Structure 1
């Protein structure tokens, strides 16, 4: 069991006290990266078990279960069960039977673990609670956070949200007093937050076509020379992100989806990351016939190649959805990196969060601008979260850490605030924007989606639903105040030969509003206009476009 610092012990004791009065409670454990939130959670779980209670601990990704399993298994041994999507049906059934028989005290897993049939539930702890993976975007559409809230109310248990960068909605509830807030302001032991360098790629890139700055190259070389490890983040998989004809400007798109295909160097094919379609790359343009198709954009595979040229002797480990398809590939790759078999870990956002390697003293963000200019109201929050989290991977052991953030927009407020790891300033600024534009936490968002193979029918169905909504709002549900945006095509308007439209409603997710949506869905089921169109409703989705 971990030894807690004074600050950690205070946080743990405050959380534990909330489990003693037989009432449901919710709390936020907010600590800087490397402050030892996992140790607090471990100690809390130990106390709950001593009281004859059980607990569920949720982590956002399978990649993060490896280190968590190691830490929890060391304390709880055979009384621990692990649940995630890579388990076979038989393994999942065996695990649930063990839980049913009362052989398990702690369940650790991704979002589906929230349904684990534990009795005497004392707490549900949600680690990195801001992560989008806690929301299921497919049927059944559910939020693990909402399910956890319900279970804790039912079992009169404690719900703990844990993060260095909590979602704006969660932090707003903590600030308003709905949740108890517990802060960890210092890193555990003697380690300090890393020194952050922001590099302007417009002036400091090695060359016009290079993805590396002189500073990042020099610091990587220093780490290689001194036996230290480095982590590099590029949040795009593949080699090049699109292929374009330089003669006519045609971009190679998927025939089944309205999205450009990504070039994968390993098999020389263009691939669609939405439906899985692939075709061999050719330099002949299907539109104008010229032999001038070139690829552009940068993914993990291209960065891996560029690294190999700059540092031919470096041992490079790439982690993305393509390289971790195997059953135990996450665990095996991370263990190899932990054991020092690689010098540089390169990957998408799966390498940015929750990982704890003592020998990592350098973190590099290849392109901090990628997500910043996304057209979703959460794009600023996601950029801040990703940068803060990945910066926090450096200097977690006895060596001082450094982070290099490469950007073409070094003066950007979000990048500057993330470099300082100043969550409170970011929260205040973001809250002002959300209030001005009326976005959560100042409202809920209900997305009504329309999907079908005939675009005209899908468009007609979305308009008919909107008309039905207007009629209800001027009649039986005139008490409901709703701001409607749309209907309109989704950003990716076609996936797997199905067209997608959506209607976005800013609302209050009340019993009355849900009754309105239920009535509308019943009418949809009996209307021929919706015959070939699927209609679904998603409350507070992670992506609204």
Structure 2
């Protein structure tokens, strides 16, 4: 009897055994449907073996699906990741198949000429449509534009039977990147780093690197050049670039498109389900060479993954803390080892784990010590608020206010960094000193003045700001204490009423689309002063930004990883 162990997407600790009936052939990585209770469920074959008998009667596999087989190394990675993170292997396998759960894109409707059929009334507009179409197939609107007529003329020819409508299945077309399209001019440190990485990719085998470069040193150009040399050596090679935030993808996609003359695939929660399916199928078929995505892109079924890049590897956003719990950076290193690929961990401020591995010699350590081109590191001034305190009920010191004014007068941009959402971190009663906290916790409620609510950032509890103190009953005695980004932005608008200001935090940009819109506005100079939390500290490129003020800098010294 042939038995297949099948991983099913349920929180169970191991694969389920099923009999492979006669007439069916199942191999490791096949997608199958199997009975589970009264229903059929999709799973992945993890192992196939032969046995002479069993002490229990096994149910049989219902069907081996014609979907793409999960590549061997992808399945090995999924099984390893499940063991490493103590996660159900079936749920981890389901993550790798997530793209296939999305619906296929709708077929494209086109029209084509019916041989031997001619219009009963060959008017000038109808003749123009037939001449524009020729022997091709085109969409109705495109054909109407090409012929310079209305869509009604095309529809009339379809109704008359001169043209027929056909449906063509939508297949994602990812143009092959050209490694020699627009190479960047590298400085010696960049060129040396790119050469080391590219040589490791060409040699094959697992090779991890820390690309340690100061801000603006050109780390992106270095690893893109390494990717170009890898693609030049092997045109079927695949490159994965992981980013910590969806908001960063668009800028990098534009840089990759300019460098290689072809856009990469995009993979994150902001991509529509049909598009995700197209990306999944292109990746497993080897029709997609470069993927830019969030941490979940690690689980795509790469056919020939040769280089992984984890940009801003120190960023805590690579940690998945809901559902399957894992660290994207660590799994990227593991995936590189299993695939026999090179891994680049890029950062201006490497994590302690990565820095330790580099110092111990486990990772190659590539250093970019200077900024690229004519750029220089900024001057940093420390302002002691004991000797230069801000005015009462304000939060910006006199030197910072003067610097903002000078920057604004020159038509340049300023960024004020304060890693505190909302208007004020504490709300207390002036009459009795009571501090408002979330129910059943000691977590203080944060005032959000734009919404008029008090919010606990720990539990998610929120409430409208009361008029009476809940402890002593005093009216209008609740006052905000301390600054948040909303309060700092309020002060900026009072000081510089003509300046265009904005707030960049998870409250004002709750999704990737709004974050990209704000980043684009800042990059195009439509914002003069940006007040931001750590949401802005993700490696964005703002060419007109010449001043950064860190408000209440001591705040960043408390709190852990």
Q: Do both share a fold (TM > 0.5)?
A: yes
Give the direction of change, closer, same or farther, for the CA distance of 1:82–1:257 in structure 2 (3 Å limit). Answer: farther
1:19 partnered with 2:206: no
Give 1:69-80 correspondences, 5 Å limit.
69-76=253-260, 78=262, 80=264
Counterpart in the other structure of 1:9: 191
- Alpha-carbon distance in 1 for matches of 2:341, 2:300: 15
Larger CA deviation: 5-14 vs 91-100: 91-100
Secondary structure of 1:8's match? helix
Counterpart in the other structure of 1:35: 217
Q: Looking at both structures, which has the greater relative contact order when contacts are Cα pairs under 8 Å and sequence separation is at least 6?
A: 1
1:191 partnered with 2:191: no
Secondary structure of 2:386's match? helix
1:369 partnered with 2:554: yes
Aligned residue among 343, 352, 360 for 2:537: 352
- Alpha-carbon distance in 1 for matches of 2:247, 2:393: 32
Aligned residue among 379, 382, 386 for 1:202: 386
- Alpha-carbon distance in 1 for matches of 2:434, 2:267: 45
The alpha-carbon deviation at position 79 of structure 1 amounts to 5.0
Aligned residue among 481, 488, 493 for 1:303: 488
Contact 1:63/1:350, CA 8 A, preserved across alignment? no
Aligned residue among 264, 267, 272 for 2:456: 272
Residue by residue over 1:512-539, the C-alpha shift from the partner in whole angstroms, topping out at 9 and shown as x without a partner, is: xxxxxxxxxxxxxxxxxxxxxxxxxxxx
Give the direction of change, closer, same or farther, for the CA distance of 1:55–1:257 in structure 2 (3 Å limit). Answer: farther
Structure number, greater radius of gyration: 2
The alpha-carbon deviation at position 230 of structure 1 amounts to 1.3
The alpha-carbon deviation at position 347 of structure 1 amounts to 0.7
- Alpha-carbon distance in 1 for matches of 2:343, 2:331: 11
1:85 partnered with 2:260: no
> CA RMSD, aligned part only?
1.7
Residue by residue over 1:123-154, the C-alpha shift from the partner in whole angstroms, topping out at 9 and shown as x without a partner, is: 11111111111121222111112221221111
The alpha-carbon deviation at position 77 of structure 1 amounts to 5.0
- Give ranges in structure 1 of 5+ residues lacking alignment: 377-541
- Alpha-carbon distance in 2 for matches of 1:108, 1:300: 31
Give the direction of change, closer, same or farther, for the CA distance of 1:77–1:250 in structure 2 (3 Å limit). Answer: farther
Contact 1:232/1:365, CA 8 A, preserved across alignment? yes
- Alpha-carbon distance in 1 for matches of 2:214, 2:392: 36
- Alpha-carbon distance in 1 for matches of 2:531, 2:261: 32
Give 1:131-210 correspondences, 5 Å limit.
131-210=315-394
- Alpha-carbon distance in 2 for matches of 1:327, 1:176: 38
Aligned residue among 25, 47, 56 for 2:229: 47
The alpha-carbon deviation at position 34 of structure 1 amounts to 0.5
Counterpart in the other structure of 1:250: 434
1:114 partnered with 2:298: yes
Q: If the length of structure 2 is used for normalisation, what is the TM-score?
A: 0.64
Aligned residue among 405, 418, 437 for 1:221: 405
The alpha-carbon deviation at position 284 of structure 1 amounts to 1.2
